[in-house]
Structure 1
Amino acid sequence: MNSKLEHRLRLYSGLFIAFFLVLHLLNAALGIISLAAMDALAKVLFAIWSIPLFGVMLYSAFIVHAGLMFVSLIQRSSLRMPAWNMLQFATALVMPLLLIGHIAATRGSHEILDIHKHYTGLVSILWSQPVDIAKQYALMGVAWIHMSVGIHYWLRHKRGYKKWTPVLYPLCLMIPLLAGLGFLAAGLESWQLPTDSPVLQKIHQETMNSDPVSVNFLISLELSIMWLFVLLLIAVLIFRSIREYWGRNHGGYLIFHTPTGKKLTGRDNQTILDTLREAGIQHAAVCGGRGRCTTCRVKITACKSSLPEPGALEMLALKRIGANPSVRLACQLRPQQDISITPLLHPDSSTPMVGLMGHEQQITCMLVDMRDSTRLGEERLPYDVVYIHNQFFKQLADALHATNGHYATFNGDGLMALYGLDSDLESGCRQALEGVVEIWQRLEKLNVWLAAELKFPIRVGIGIHCGYAIVGTMGPPDSPTVSALGDIVNIAARLEALTKEYCTGLIVSKDVLRNIGVNYRELPQHTVHVRGREKPLDIFTIDNSTELIKLLQDIRLKHGNVVHPE
């Protein structure tokens, strides 16, 4: 199956089921008020889900989501996986066994036995047997855990997710808690209903009038579906066992892992990284084995014949680091004969995996550097320099805060700022230019305030570039920070350095101006060869805030919002 299609089917079917589950638990939470409140909302929800289109969509989502679990089990070359992934699989396997009986008792009873659907009757039946009570709570817990883990790992790298976690996490805890309390309160209320109450009498009457043949059919259908699920699971596991046995005894390859001295057996079309993981050997792979980094690279120290040529993704990664032909990526190389490998990076399993929080994202990077800081240090006493620097960085920090910039790193007399972490690239580029205006205007005021302290005004050089970078939590485990790595950071630093050569306050790449749709034809344009980049780069120099504000006005006028220079 096409991996992109599989991902979309899993995502959309899961989201549809999650929507149903949230409504279901909110309905159960109304039991805290009364059974009547539960029945009132249930009547509306039953009517909605009884619409044929919605009913077909719901049960199709269940079937597709369960089917994709089997597909994933078949496709995985190893069942060794991170704890969160194992939790997903475990809850996915348990949930159908609990859910099938629940559906049979609710939807099945209504459709086949013609028993009226309402919470009062359902709760009364469930709370008549301790086993049914335990199953209901288990189903709520398993389903909610499976949904929460899945949604978290889907959203964790999305823009704005971190900002919403203070709201989402409490909801994640409160909804199942309230549902559990509601089910408890409803159960206790059902115990207090008199046996001759109209509701219980109606349930008893409908149950007694049920056709025995239909009852037996419903029971048989429930058992058949449950056994079908179990047999499919057994069949998949048997298939995996046969495939692994065949791979070990027909074809495959041996890996001699030089650090441990172990000989590992790999199957046909299995990567070195999967083979190492299957054997329980830790190996660095910061990007998760997707070919987006080179931390899993190994040196091939012995091989009987030539290895398969690197694919485009692997070739690009190896070329970036100037690797020699004996170095390959463990996540991409699928050997066809026995080899010996030596990992080039230590996995360092004792270090918290802070770096694994990184993800690829389009952002705008700004480098700011104070001019003549060495001269300032020579002319002033150390504590005076500290005072001036603190005032300088306060203005920079306030300027970033005012324009949605993120302070990333500090380097003595300058800093790196990131824009667009929680927005699109166009907004990030525009806000970065607004940040430059804010910095310049604040420094003008600072120079007035410190006129008696300074022999010359504080000036800065700024470089801005945009594009893809790895953004995430980086740095020492005890004091990590959100920062970025990649070409755009290096290029922004080069542009900042070029401001000295071009005697200007700001150099911005053409990519930045093009992304915000600004008219840059009247700006001084240059083409430079930036160290570390093969292709030349078009850049523009901007000397003062008046020029920059004029550019920003062109954009704001399109949206009816004008920037006025101070």
Structure 2
Amino acid sequence: MNPTRIATWKPLYSADMLRATGRAPIAPFRRLLGMVARVAREPAVHTLLRRCQLVSGVVLLVYLSLHLINHALGIWSLDLAGRGLALALWVWRSVPGTVLLYGASLLHFSLALRTIYGRRHWKMPLTEWVRLWAGLSLPLLLIRHVVSTRLASSLYGFEPNYERIVISLITSGTQGLQLALLAPGWVHGCLGLWLRMRHRAGARRAKPYLMGLLVGLPMLSAAGFVRMKQAVLALCTGPLRTDPKLVAHQLSLDAWRHNILMLYLSLLIGAFVAGQVRNRRERRRLRKATMTV
């Protein structure tokens, strides 16, 4: 072949020509194959844990959704909200519901500790920081809720209804905290589900409606709680009085709440510190290895 022709030879199909004709160059296919190969090399245990995280998160999101819907029913009447609460208690206090709810909570929290321990760095996008903050605040709600309702019912015979719950929140001054803690848990669950589903065409088409649900349901829940508070205050002619069973065992319930909260914070801090120690040891081992080479 003529050397001059070799020097001036150009490929028959350049990248610009392929893009102009609608054909993609080969590089994206190579990247796609590389991604598929990396996914295929992931251990089966890692894939199983990711699925467990998704399933447990969906269970908790369903629980929060029903909780918010129950509050929203208070917009219409206190009686309707009470019926919704009775149905929710029947579901979650049954043996399957109890195992499902608390099993999902423990599993999701354990996987969160594993994630905190396993992180090599904390450079994350803003969405991940928001999801992390919202998720870590969710147990604060669950701890208070479990102690004030389920534990008080199991140990001291307290039977919750919305009138008693609202009066208890008003007298303790924690009604604002209760509403504030519901929203982060809802945001965490919705963001986590969206990050898993955002690549699907149906999820992208439904994004405006999902955004409306994300914002609208907590607002309806807050409005329902305010409406129930007004209804309870209208029914009470005298000063508000907390249920005598809660008053008699308040110190014990506060001790339970404090101990569980300290355990939760200790596990979080322990996982973070252990991960940082592990990272420092790995960096030190890597420096020694590079120095000996």
Give the TM-score, by structure 1 length.
Answer: 0.41
Q: State the shift of 1:100 in Å.
A: 0.8
1:88 and 1:146 in contact (8 A); partners too: yes
Q: State the shift of 1:234 in Å.
A: 1.6
> Which residue in the other structure is 1:144 paired with?
186
After superposition, give the CA deviation of every residue in 1:367-387 in whole Å (9 maximum; x if it has no partner): xxxxxxxxxxxxxxxxxxxxx
The alignment status of 1:35 with 2:78, answered yes or no, reads yes
- Structure 1 distance, partners of 2:267, 2:210, is 36
Amino acid at match of 1:70: L
**1:424-503 map, 5 Å:** none
After superposition, give the CA deviation of every residue in 1:12-67 in whole Å (9 maximum; x if it has no partner): 00001111111110110011112111101111111111111111110110111111
The alignment status of 1:118 with 2:118, answered yes or no, reads no
Amino acid at match of 2:203: Y
After superposition, give the CA deviation of every residue in 1:210-236 in whole Å (9 maximum; x if it has no partner): 5x4xx5443322222111111111211
1:26 corresponds, among 69, 73, 77, to: 69
1:13 and 1:61 in contact (8 A); partners too: yes
Q: 3-state SS of the aligned residue for 1:160?
A: helix
> Which residue in the other structure is 1:56 paired with?
99
2:164 and 2:243 in contact (8 A); partners too: no
> Which residue in the other structure is 1:274 paired with?
none
Amino acid at match of 1:123: V
- Structure 1 distance, partners of 2:89, 2:187, is 25
1:337 corresponds, among 287, 290, 293, to: 290
2:217 corresponds, among 171, 175, 188, to: 175
The alignment status of 1:218 with 2:253, answered yes or no, reads yes
Q: State the shift of 1:145 in Å.
A: 1.1
**What percentage of aligned pairs have identical amino acids?**
26
> Which residue in the other structure is 1:532 paired with?
none
1:99 and 1:139 in contact (8 A); partners too: no
- The 3 A distance-change label for structure 1 pair 218 and 194 is closer
- Structure 2 distance, partners of 1:195, 1:3, is 59
The alignment status of 1:230 with 2:265, answered yes or no, reads yes
> Which residue in the other structure is 1:252 paired with?
286
- Structure 2 distance, partners of 1:124, 1:241, is 45
> Which residue in the other structure is 1:162 paired with?
204
Q: Which runs of 5+ in 1 are unaligned?
A: 254-267, 269-335, 339-566
Higher share of residues assigned strand:
1
2:243 corresponds, among 186, 189, 204, to: 204
Amino acid at match of 1:252: L
- The 3 A distance-change label for structure 1 pair 96 and 225 is same
**1:304-453 map, 5 Å:** 337=290
Q: State the shift of 1:195 in Å.
A: 4.4
Amino acid at match of 1:204: D
Greater relative contact order (Cα < 8 A, sep 6+): 2
Q: 3-state SS of the aligned residue for 2:235?
A: coil
Higher share of residues assigned helix:
2
1:25 and 1:179 in contact (8 A); partners too: yes
- Structure 2 distance, partners of 1:204, 1:53, is 29
- Structure 2 distance, partners of 1:153, 1:113, is 42
- Structure 2 distance, partners of 1:71, 1:80, is 17
Q: 3-state SS of the aligned residue for 1:252?
A: helix
Q: State the shift of 1:155 in Å.
A: 0.8
Amino acid at match of 1:182: G
The alignment status of 1:107 with 2:143, answered yes or no, reads no
Q: 3-state SS of the aligned residue for 1:81?
A: coil
2:117 corresponds, among 74, 79, 83, to: 74
> Which residue in the other structure is 2:21 paired with?
none
1:112 and 1:218 in contact (8 A); partners too: no
After superposition, give the CA deviation of every residue in 1:258-279 in whole Å (9 maximum; x if it has no partner): xxxxxxxxxx9xxxxxxxxxxx
Amino acid at match of 2:219: L
Give the TM-score, by structure 2 length.
Answer: 0.78
Whose radius of gyration is greater, 1 or 2?
Answer: 1
- Structure 2 distance, partners of 1:149, 1:164, is 14
- Structure 1 distance, partners of 2:243, 2:104, is 34
> Which residue in the other structure is 1:239 paired with?
274
- Structure 2 distance, partners of 1:337, 1:86, is 34
